[in-house]
């Protein structure tokens, strides 16, 4: 149940409802789905991607004969706060306790983190007297650079196997989920963050109110929060439906995030548009009482952009589904044409987004022979739902595929360089998002 601590003027009239109310209509009981932020009833469908397994629930060979669990991948938009969201079918404990995503396998993402640390340390004057906290620190891809600068840092990472990799980089890690309980515990021990980092974690939180409350609690008086997350506006504009999966409970616009954190006593004072993950935002937040950080023009500019693009209009959301259906037809047409020519298709990368796309489009081993991935934790396993096998990159030398689909299309330039050798036998690169495109 969504916690309702810290009731505010906007939410007071909504909190009388339970998170999931059982109502009766014409004598039939039904489950009412409520917005995880403002508790309003969700009535508008954003996009229906059918049934799909958890996108990171890779399958071991000895479990191939067992039943996969499939869940509805139906995304809704709240008509009040415009938060795009999924229902919660599996708890974060089930999804993230043992995880297969390691950030450091993307060279460009590690460089992104290194650059961030250099800029943020200088901008806010962080030093050995400062305290940095990173929520969802993953394998230490970012905090390793804080450690190098001898800035006291603590990572929070519930996936124990991933947290262990961070510790090998010298990062202090708490293997717990972040929320108001952990924040209170840290504060009682005298830990408050001068810089609180959360990259690609806000979308993963089912109890988003409790999460923001925790950030407010653990932030020092003049501390700064920076958070990065995929920008909903870019998801809509560039048809990035594959970034929707069960591990992402929410899909965020700037206007909605600004509204959400303001309701819990925080203020956005700056924002940057990033190219990562197909278009992301980095927001900067402070306590609303902190007058030392003026609100920049970037905030006004992005607000205006989203208003101009209709992020505050329900029609912007309800027309997305038709475009997704067309992309699915285009992808299937490409695959069918290639296979009818007797040519082979494989995938590069086994990201969560790829599993959403393959399951939604119904592309299995009869269409895609295999995928390769640099991450040893995924090699030797099978993709959830489709059971397409995962090999190391060297496997492509043996089979010489005609087409290699870049599943993490947001990293296509990096990947083009990593596997340029496929051109030696005439292999071609393909991306399917935002539209089908072949690179010779």
Domain residue ranges of the chain, discontinuous segments joined by +:
103-318, 334-439
Three-state secondary structure call for residue 109: helix
Order of strands across the sheet that contains 219-230: 172-174, 153-156, 132-135, 193-199, 219-230, 280-287, 266-274
Query: Which pair of tokens denotes residue 80?
Result: 């009040």
Residue 184 to residue 218: CA distance in whole angstroms = 7
The whole-chain average pLDDT of the chain stands at 90
CATH 3.40.50.150 fits 103-318, yes or no: yes
Q: Report the DSSP pairing between strands 193-199 and 71-77.
A: unpaired
| pLDDT over 50 (residue 28) | no
Residue 391 to residue 429: CA distance in whole angstroms = 18
Residue 164 to residue 175: CA distance in whole angstroms = 9
334-439 to CATH, choices 3.40.630.30, 3.30.565.10, 3.40.50.720, 3.40.50.150: 3.40.50.720
- 145-170 average pLDDT score: 95
To the nearest whole percent, how much of the chain has pLDDT over 70?
90
- 87-101 average pLDDT score: 63
- 333-353 average pLDDT score: 97
**What confidence category does residue 67 fall into, taking pLDDT thresholds of 50, 70 and 90?**
confident
Spell out the alpha helix ranges (H) of 157-207: 160-168, 180-188
Nearest to 227 by CA among 196, 255, 248, 253: 196
92 or 28: whose pLDDT is higher?
92
* pLDDT in the model for residue 277: 87
Three-state secondary structure call for residue 150: coil
pLDDT per residue as tens digits for the range 367-404: 999 999 998 989 999 999 999 999 999 999 999 999 99
In DSSP terms, 44 is beta-bridged to 77
User: What are the angstrom distances between the C-alpha of 275 and each of 148, 165, 203, 212?
Assistant: 26, 27, 18, 25
Q: Look up the pTM and report it.
A: 0.87
**What confidence category does residue 21 fall into, taking pLDDT thresholds of 50, 70 and 90?**
very low
- Asked if the domains at 103-318 and 334-439 fall in one CATH topology, the answer is yes
- 153-171 average pLDDT score: 94
């Amino acid at each position: 149940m969504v916690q309702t601590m810290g009731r505010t003027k906007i939410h007071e009239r909504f909190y009388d409802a339970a998170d999931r109310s059982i109502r009766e209509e014409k004598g039939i009981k039904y489950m009412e789905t409520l917005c995880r932020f403002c508790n309003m009833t969700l009535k508008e469908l954003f996009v229906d991607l059918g049934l799909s397994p958890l996108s990171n629930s890779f399958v071991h060979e000895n479990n191939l004969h067992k039943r996969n669990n499939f869940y509805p991948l139906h995304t809704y938009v709240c008509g009040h706060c415009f938060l795009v969201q999924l229902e919660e079918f599996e708890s974060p404990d089930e999804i993230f306790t043992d995880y297969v995503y390691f950030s450091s396998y993307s060279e460009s993402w590690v460089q992104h983190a290194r650059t961030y640390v250099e800029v943020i340390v200088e901008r806010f004057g962080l030093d050995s007297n400062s305290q940095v906290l990173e929520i969802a620190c993953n394998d230490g891809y970012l905090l390793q650079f804080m450690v190098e600068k001898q800035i006291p840092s603590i990572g929070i990472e519930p996936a124990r196997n991933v947290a262990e990799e961070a510790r090998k980089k010298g990062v202090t890690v708490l293997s717990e989920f972040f929320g108001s309980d952990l924040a209170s515990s840290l504060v009682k021990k005298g830990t408050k963050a001068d810089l609180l980092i959360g990259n690609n974690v806000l979308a993963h939180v089912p109890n988003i109110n409790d999460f923001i409350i925790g950030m407010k609690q653990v932030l020092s008086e003049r501390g700064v929060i920076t958070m990065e997350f995929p920008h909903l506006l870019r998801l809509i504009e560039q048809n990035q439906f594959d970034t929707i999966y069960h591990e992402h409970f929410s899909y965020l616009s700037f206007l909605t995030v600004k509204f959400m954190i303001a309701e819990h006593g925080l203020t956005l004072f700056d924002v940057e548009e990033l190219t990562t993950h197909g278009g992301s935002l980095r927001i900067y937040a402070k306590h609303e009482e902190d007058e030392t950080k003026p609100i920049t023009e970037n905030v006004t500019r992005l607000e205006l952009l989203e208003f101009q693009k209709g992020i505050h209009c329900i029609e912007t959301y309800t027309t997305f589904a038709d475009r997704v259906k067309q992309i699915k037809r285009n992808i299937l047409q490409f695959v069918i044409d290639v296979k009818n020519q007797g040519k082979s298709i494989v995938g590069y990368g086994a990201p969560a987004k790829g599993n959403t796309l393959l399951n939604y489009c119904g592309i299995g081993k009869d269409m895609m022979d295999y995928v390769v991935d640099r991450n040893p934790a995924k090699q030797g396993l099978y993709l959830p739902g489709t059971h397409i096998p995962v090999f190391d990159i060297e496997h492509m030398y043996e089979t010489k595929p005609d087409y290699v689909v870049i599943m993490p299309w947001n990293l296509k330039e990096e990947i083009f360089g990593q596997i340029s050798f496929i051109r030696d036998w005439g292999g071609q690169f393909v991306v399917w998002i935002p539209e089908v495109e072949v690179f010779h």
